[in-house]
Structure 1
Amino acid sequence: MHAEDDAGLHALPITVAYGERELTVTPAIVETDRGLVLCDVGPQGAVDGLETHLGSLGYDLEDIWLVVLTHHDGDHAGGLSELNERVDTVVATHHAEAPYVAGEREPIKGDGDRYPPVAVDIELVDGVRIPTVAGPMEVVATPGHAPGHLSLYLPDGNLLVAGDTLVADGAEPLAGPKPQFTPDMDRAIESVGKLADLEIDHTLCYHGGYVQAGSDRIREIHEQLRK
């Protein structure tokens, strides 16, 4: 089973230039009665890849009505300005991430060459639920990798959209956040523990894509990180 087969949710892996290297990332779309919710955008230059994926699924960029950012890092939010030049979307992120996305604060990571700021329309908090055709999609505050990092949990399908709280691009099928990119590792470990308490059967990571691993593996990761 792949994330693309989960009713109402589709992974959109794209490879784009990021700095001096190529980067493969995995935004996702979730279908709702109102249109599509896009979970993360990708870096600058990602919109063409998103448009190609959407076209293959029978959608257009104009079908996106809401963008939910897991956090403000450039590889997740850098393409938002380009997207909003083409589509009038509602932008939502955790309230602690909003100042970075909107340009009121400079991104915590990066070399000072930030992406174009974009206004945030909705500031999210832990526990908010977004109705989708795949059932409610719950905001789970998972700080550490970024001050207001959030993950998205779809309990009807036991599916977690992990953002960068977990990764699947290394030797392990599922692993914890990368320390070199995680300013507050102690809080990130607590966030992994919070996810371990959920009923998860499969996980979509922004870095590494979909994996058939869930609560048992997340508990293992949490125990390893606590040592």
Structure 2
Amino acid sequence: MIDRVITSGTFSLDGGTWDVDNNVWLVGDAREVVVIDAAHDARAIKDRVGERTVKAIVCTHAHNDHINAAGELAELTGAPIRLHPADQVLWDQVYGQAVAYHPLADGEKIEVGGVALEVLHTPGHAPGAVCLHAPDLGVLFSGDTLFKGGPGATGRSFSSFDTIIDSISRRLLTLPGETVVHTGHGDSTSIGAEAPHLEEWIARGQ
């Protein structure tokens, strides 16, 4: 039902470039999947998809390391790319008008393989950042909004610490504590493991 491909490449913003490993999540069944965050290597992602239909390529946000394989993967699979339109400014830095996406909306449900992924708009790391909640699976795909050990980075353009803390506290920490959090980078965690540390994060960020 849930599979992960780890791809490697670079993240670039504000004139800097960093080496990164990204988690690319596949959700679905033996017939169809949704790809969450097509990063770096479209061929590796397509190989893991195999003969299944890709219903959508969902971008949790438009930093280059989360979307730089989306265009090629869309060509390989015929799947639509989905992105929250508040991240247009970041999308344009990678694709401009050369690649189109279909807008995501807060509260929208994406159905795949008998599972519903609910879109939660969680700005802060990026204006259009979203998480995908699959309550039937007890899982949240958090992109770069929430990691094991704290919130996503907010020290670069188009980000806000106060906004990400608000998003996490209102939209994520209200989910059941047993909810598993599959992140955009690194190890998974849970809502219950992260919730007690909210005040520490706020103090650390001030």
- TM range, normalised to the smaller chain? 0.7 to 0.9
| Cα distance, 1:98–1:179 mapped onto 2, change above 3 Å | closer
Report the equivalent of 1:201: 179
Conserved? CA contact 1:192–1:218, under 8 Å: no
| Cα distance, 1:203–1:9 mapped onto 2, change above 3 Å | same
Report the equivalent of 1:69: 59
Q: CA offset at residue 32 of structure 1? A: 5.8
Bigger drift between 183-192 and 125-134 goes to: 125-134
| Cα distance, 1:64–1:167 mapped onto 2, change above 3 Å | same
Report the equivalent of 2:150: 175
Conserved? CA contact 2:10–2:18, under 8 Å: yes
Q: For 1:9-158, what aligned pairs fall within 5 Å after superposition?
A: 9-16=2-9, 22-31=19-28, 35-43=32-40, 46-54=41-49, 59-60=50-51, 63-98=53-88, 100-101=90-91, 103=92, 106=93, 114-115=94-95, 117-121=98-102, 123-133=103-113, 135-158=115-138
Structure with bigger strand share is 2
Percent identical: 24
Amino acid at match of 1:178: A
Distance in 1 (alpha carbons) for counterparts of 2:81 and 2:46 = 18
Counterpart secondary structure, 1:97: helix
Structure 1 runs of 4+ aligned residues shifted over 3 Å read 16-22, 114-117
Give unpaired runs (5+ residues) of structure 1. 1-7, 107-113, 169-173
In the alignment, which of 184, 188, 212 is matched to residue 164 of structure 2? 188
Distance in 2 (alpha carbons) for counterparts of 1:167 and 1:192 = 11
Counterpart secondary structure, 1:153: strand
- C-alpha RMSD over aligned residues: 2.4
Give unpaired runs (5+ residues) of structure 2. none
Distance in 2 (alpha carbons) for counterparts of 1:89 and 1:69 = 13
Amino acid at match of 2:22: V
Amino acid at match of 1:94: H
Distance in 2 (alpha carbons) for counterparts of 1:220 and 1:71 = 26
